[in-house]
Chain A
Amino acid sequence: MTGRPWLLIAVLGIAASASAEEDPNRLDALEKENLELRERVGNLEQAKAEQDALAKDAKDAEEGLGLNMVVRRGDVWGIFQLFGDTGFNYLSPELPNRGGTYFFDGTVDLFFTARVGDHFQVLSETVFLSAIGTTADTSKWDQERLWGAWQFSDFLQVKLGLEHGPISRWNNLYHHGKWLELTITRPFLARFEGDGGVIPMHEAGLEALGSVEAGKGRVTYALFLSNGRGPVVTDVEEFSDHNDAKAITGLVGYEPAGEHPLFVGVAVRWDEIPPNPTDPARIHSIGQVIVNLQVDYRGERIQILSEVAWISDADRSSSTDFEHITGYFQVGYALNDMWTPYFRFDIRTMDTGDPYYAPVNRDLDIWEIVTGARFDFLDNAAIKFEIGFGDRQQRNGGGVVSDQGYIRVGFQLAFVF
């Protein structure tokens, strides 16, 4: 028994010496393995960080304007956007029953468009807006655009529904998106039917449009068959038609190829305005023809937009023809990425007594000079400040027409998300 501990010690000693010989190799192997693993983990971490950065950059890049409310599911692409504006006005002389200064909430414009596959697209524009009433202000919502379109090719797209007609370039560029407009106010030519306009801005019907390359540029065209205008100038006829005669609007435009977009176009519109059963002076229809010349140039700093429209009304009740002209010339100059001062000359000359326009006093002349500045303090929000002054005709209760000078100052905050 006394010799056994020595035996044990001897065995342990041999084992220990064997282990000591193995350890350096094992440690080397472990260390090597450890280094390899650390390197792999490092690489993986770096790759992940790079991927995350790329994904974030890509998302930021795509966001661009607003909240980037874009959805893509398979073949369906959907985009939602919201426009809005609010502001302050000073008017002299003031509106009837109102003070000369007032704050206002402008419009909230909900825009949605979706494409399904290569050829089908739908678009909707709904606007919530306020209006100055006789005694109290009112708010309402309007479906401004709602259409579905099949695009066969660049040359032909067929669109069915409610759309802004091609008669006005301004209308087709900006619709109800105040943030897109350089100025606070629209020119007389492009005012809406319910806001003093003399040209129809909305059309319900069937439109064919497209473009084709020609020479060193591109020819665009549009042909719109629509319900036309109702018996009164504010009636858009988006749900029904008072007569079976349809309005036809045609547009031909040319865009020369070049660094900066230029568009020159002419639009013509024919309509048979139905009689007005509530107006004894309107027992027959009015044949209306509108011709509109359009120029739109967007240079690096200068942007020019100008339109001139000639309106001819053949009143079959009185066998009288009335002719009206309205137009504007607007120029803006971008000083930098934020400030764009602008100027506009705006005029509407009307033949007094046109039974279609006279009931709402739109047969009266008006001209205005507008000057102001737009300040894009964010990518998707702008402040506009403008002054307008001019002269307008007004009709008193006895039907006597007189001239009146006026001035207005406006401030607007417009945004898109």
Chain B
Amino acid sequence: MRFRALLLLSCTALGAAEDASKKPPLELAVIVHPENPVAKASLAELRAYLRVEREFWPNRKRCDVYLPQSTTDEYDVLLQKVYRMSHKKLQKYWARRLFSGEISARPSYVPSAKAAGEEVLKSEGAISIVSAKTVPAGVKVLLIDGKKPGEDGYPLVGIPGEAEQEP
């Protein structure tokens, strides 16, 4: 009986610790230059842009991808919702595609939402991802699957820390 009680207590404590270590859901916003003709994209289209399978916008401006740094929660949610692979796999993915000549440059990384906003405002073809709470002023936020951040069913919401671990 005492053993059972101890076990129950331990499990409760472990569960509580796990809950405490879990971060709250994070919502991402996709930002582009205000002159970009695209205002909305499906999640599949967004994937194609961010995986550099689509390299050009409809106005023939090259789509330059600026990713949040790999240590951020934004990057983690991006791996879950868009890339669906681990950071290591993604690095190999870029290396292989670059070497094969399929892409002419791999995405750049930006250290903050402010820096992402600066890059996006600097280049008409730039696209970046920031937390929906820190959207820089002056940029355009894309609707994804017809929804904007904060709306029910918006697809770019995830819990940081749940990206695929290395198999």
Seen from chain A, the residues whose Cβ lies within 8 Å of a Cβ on chain B are: 54-55, 57-58, 60-62, 64-65, 77, 79, 81, 111, 113, 115, 118-119, 121, 123, 145, 147, 151-154, 163, 172-175, 177, 180, 211, 213, 218, 257, 259, 300-301, 334-337, 379, 416
- Closest 7 pairs between A and B when the two form their complex, measured CB to CB: A337-B166, A61-B70, A118-B62, A64-B91, A115-B104, A54-B111, A58-B111
* Choice from B48, B56, B95, B104 contacting A64 with Cβ under 8 Å: B95
Q: Within the assembled complex, what's the spacing in Å between the Cα atoms of A105 and B75? A: 39
Supposing A115-B104, A123-B101, A153-B60 touch, asked if A57 and B44 sit within 8 A by C-beta, the answer is no
Most chain B CB within 10 A, of A58, A211, A259, is at: A58
Q: Within the assembled complex, what's the spacing in Å between the Cα atoms of A158 and B64? A: 20
Supposing A61-B71, A379-B91 touch, asked if A175 and B100 sit within 8 A by C-beta, the answer is yes
Q: How far is the CB of B129 from chain A (nearest CB, A)?
A: 14
Assess whether B69 is interfacial by the CB under 8 Å rule.
yes
Q: Within the assembled complex, what's the spacing in Å between the Cα atoms of A113 and B118? A: 26
Please give me the residue from chain A that is nearest to B62 by CB atom: A118
- Complex interface residues of chain B between 66 and 92 (CB less than 8 A to chain A): 69-71, 75, 84-86, 88, 91-92
Q: Within the assembled complex, what's the spacing in Å between the Cα atoms of A113 and B84? A: 27
User: Do most interface residues of chain B lie in helix, strand or loop, or is the interface mixed?
Assistant: loop
Say yes or no: A115 contacts B109, CB within 8 Å: no
Q: How far is the CB of A77 from chain B (nearest CB, A)?
A: 5
Supposing A154-B54, A334-B167, A337-B166 touch, asked if A118 and B125 sit within 8 A by C-beta, the answer is yes
Assess whether B94 is interfacial by the CB under 8 Å rule.
yes
The interface size bin for chain B is: 35 or more
Say yes or no: A118 contacts B61, CB within 8 Å: yes
Q: Within the assembled complex, what's the spacing in Å between the Cα atoms of A55 and B100? A: 30
A sample of 24 cross-chain residue pairs with beta-carbon separation below 8 angstroms, ordered by A number, consists of A54-B111, A55-B111, A58-B109, A58-B110, A58-B111, A61-B75, A65-B91, A65-B95, A77-B104, A79-B105, A79-B106, A81-B98, A119-B62, A151-B56, A151-B104, A152-B60, A153-B60, A211-B53, A300-B167, A301-B167, A336-B167, A337-B88, A337-B166, A337-B167
Determine the chain A residues whose CB is within 8 A of the CB of B101 once the complex forms.
113, 123, 145, 147, 163
Most chain B CB within 10 A, of A118, A147, A152, is at: A118
Assess whether B3 is interfacial by the CB under 8 Å rule.
no
Say yes or no: B55 contacts A151, CB within 8 Å: yes
Most chain A CB within 10 A, of B55, B84, B166, B167, is at: B167
Q: Within the assembled complex, what's the spacing in Å between the Cα atoms of A55 and B69? A: 10
Please give me the residue from chain B that is nearest to A153 by CB atom: B56
Determine the chain A residues whose CB is within 8 A of the CB of B166 once the complex forms.
336-337
Assess whether B23 is interfacial by the CB under 8 Å rule.
no
Q: How far is the CB of B36 from chain A (nearest CB, A)?
A: 14
Say yes or no: A218 contacts B99, CB within 8 Å: no
Please give me the residue from chain A that is nearest to B71 by CB atom: A57
Q: Within the assembled complex, what's the spacing in Å between the Cα atoms of A173 and B55? A: 19
Say yes or no: A62 contacts B62, CB within 8 Å: no
Most chain A CB within 10 A, of B56, B61, B85, B94, is at: B56
Determine the chain B residues whose CB is within 8 A of the CB of A259 once the complex forms.
84
Supposing A62-B108, A123-B101, A151-B104 touch, asked if A180 and B95 sit within 8 A by C-beta, the answer is yes
Q: How far is the CB of A297 from chain B (nearest CB, A)?
A: 15
Determine the chain B residues whose CB is within 8 A of the CB of A213 once the complex forms.
48
Determine the chain B residues whose CB is within 8 A of the CB of A57 once the complex forms.
69-71, 111
Determine the chain A residues whose CB is within 8 A of the CB of B44 once the complex forms.
257
Say yes or no: B91 contacts A113, CB within 8 Å: no
Q: How far is the CB of A279 from chain B (nearest CB, A)?
A: 36
Please give me the residue from chain B that is nearest to A176 by CB atom: B99
Assess whether B22 is interfacial by the CB under 8 Å rule.
no
Determine the chain A residues whose CB is within 8 A of the CB of B94 once the complex forms.
64
Given A61-B69, A118-B61, A379-B91, 18 other A-B residues pairs in contact with their CB atoms under 8 A: A54-B111, A57-B111, A58-B69, A58-B111, A60-B71, A61-B70, A61-B71, A61-B75, A61-B109, A62-B109, A118-B60, A119-B62, A121-B104, A300-B85, A300-B167, A301-B167, A336-B166, A337-B86
Determine the chain A residues whose CB is within 8 A of the CB of B85 once the complex forms.
300
